[in-house]
Chains A and B, each alone.
Chain A
Amino acid sequence: MQFTINGQHYEAEPDIRCSLLDLLREHLGLTGSKKGCDHGQCGACTVLVNGRRINACLTLAVMHQDDEVVTIEGLGSPEALHPLQAAFVRHDGFQCGYCTPGQICSAVGMLDEAAKGWPSHVTERLGEGIALTDAEISERMSGNLCRCSAYPNIVDAIREVAEGEAQGKQAAAA
């Protein structure tokens, strides 16, 4: 089977039952994505497939041979952190760090969803622009659990990046 992960081409022959998460971790050595519950409840395995955040534990590797998969390893590097990675460090958005790759991949997908105007459960008026309030960020990130409960700092980190992106857009428009 052939896969495209973080822009790189990989070949592997996993068992037909292999999840995308196990492919990444056990076959390709990409251990940034974490296995928490392995049932789609914790979000530690969140990756981006064709730009959309999904739970890598609840999908079969064999179903992703034609997809573009991005994991935490593809977002930034220790020398050049992704803006969300830098914001998580700045705001202390983690303690043990186990959920962090999933939190950050999820936040990347979430910011894109909000930019497209997708509403959430707490959006008051459907079909209008999305203001990423703390309530919006919390609702949209509810698929990522943090047992250390670093939630306030995670929200701070995401809010800072969201505001930065919004200001960047305004500056570009001006």
Chain B
Amino acid sequence: MRSFDYARADSPEAAVHDAGDGAKFIAGGTNLLDLMKLQIETPAKLVDISRLDLGAIEEMEDGSLRIGALVPNSDLAADARVIARYPVLSRALLAGASGQLRNKATTAGNLLQRTRCYYFYDPAVPCNKRAPGSGCSAIGGFNRIHAVLGVSEQCIATHPGDMPVAMRALDATIITLKRDGDARRIGIDELYRLPGDTPEIETILEPGELITHVELPPAPKGVQAYRKVRDRASYAFALVSVAAIVAVEGGTISSAHLAFGGLAPLPWRDPAVEAALVGRPPSTAAFEAAAAALLAEAKGQGANDFKIPLARRTLIAVLRDVTGDAA
């Protein structure tokens, strides 16, 4: 690990003030230190935000739930309000990592965790995300875990998270503090960037911008579910995951919120998938149409071709579960 300067911040304002060029915030540290040990992350300075007063989950007057950036994954998953109103979020959190990691990993850190692409993790080989311009070893390489949607010729890595997939389905808002002291609100649909020609830039956050909270609006009507398909039953990243909130009224699907993990460089959501369902009775035909909409542009790289039929079948299975349609 390269050495670094260390400062413990005593307020969010002090944290963004301390975060000069080349600095990183550290809270749980479970992903950042892992990457620093391999010299994939080499921050000149760590600003320790772990003691900031950002660990609460609060009810807002408009019915939203405001989650502090430092709320650990374990606590968020077990929160009675989250379990009652946003079970898809509890389920997504519980499907991720291990008990030890969930105790340390924070809400904001989870949003910003980095890909587990094997080539990103191997400093000996080219990777455009780690060393811009060096090339992509996954294209034409071993790419079983890689993305089939939203990729570019520079990068086919997936976003590894579960929690952000549920938050995308729930239309979460990210609240930040910028270095100039301004707060801003960012819809989760705007937070992440597709790789394009700059896969090293993963979000729209500015250098030194600190996530302070995540707000969940009141949950949409409907049945919620999170299904994760992975190589072992526990403690593994998603090959495909689906977060679903689907309401059926009078025999017709009245609303659908669907987000996907394991398929793309970001927690994926596509309005065409939801449009294929809303206004139709729950049926195999409607579910097939939703899957076709999701995967219309999907492109396998060889070893990950299986993700396309796997995503189709997983989505259909989840839709059957949440609509109670046994067809």
Instruction: List residues of chain A with CB under 8 Å of any chain B CB.
Output: 15-17, 19, 38-40, 43, 46, 52-55, 58-60, 62-63, 66, 106, 109-110, 113, 116-121, 123, 126-127, 138-144
- Inter-chain contact B77/A38, CB cutoff 8 Å: no
- Inter-chain contact A113/B33, CB cutoff 8 Å: no
Q: Which residues of B contact A53 (CB under 8 A)?
A: 99-100, 103
Q: Is B98 an interface residue (CB 8 A)?
A: yes
User: Which residue, of A39, A40, A116, A138, has the highest number of chain B Cβ atoms within 10 A?
Assistant: A40
Q: In whole angstroms, what is the CA distance A69 to B258 when docked?
A: 42
Sample of 8 A–B contacts (CB below 8 Å): A63-B29, A66-B51, A113-B74, A118-B78, A120-B94, A121-B95, A140-B99, A142-B234
- Inter-chain contact A19/B99, CB cutoff 8 Å: no
Chain B 18-36, CB-CB to A under 8 Å as 1, else 0, gives: 0000000010011001100
- Inter-chain contact A63/B234, CB cutoff 8 Å: no
Q: Which residues of B contact A144 (CB under 8 A)?
A: 98
- Inter-chain contact B83/A119, CB cutoff 8 Å: yes
| A-binding segment of B1-9, B172-180, B183-191 | B1-9
Given contacts A39-B34, A118-B77, A126-B87, contact A63 B98 (CB under 8 A): no
Q: Which residues of B contact A118 (CB under 8 A)?
A: 74, 77-78
Q: Which residues of A contact B98 (CB under 8 A)?
A: 40, 43, 142-144
- Inter-chain contact B90/A126, CB cutoff 8 Å: yes
Closest to A56 in B: B100
Q: Is B50 an interface residue (CB 8 A)?
A: yes
Given contacts A119-B94, A126-B90, A138-B234, contact A40 B78 (CB under 8 A): no
Picked from B94, B233, B235, the residue with its CB within 8 Å of the CB of A143 is: B235
Picked from A55, A120, A123, A139, the residue with its CB within 8 Å of the CB of B100 is: A55
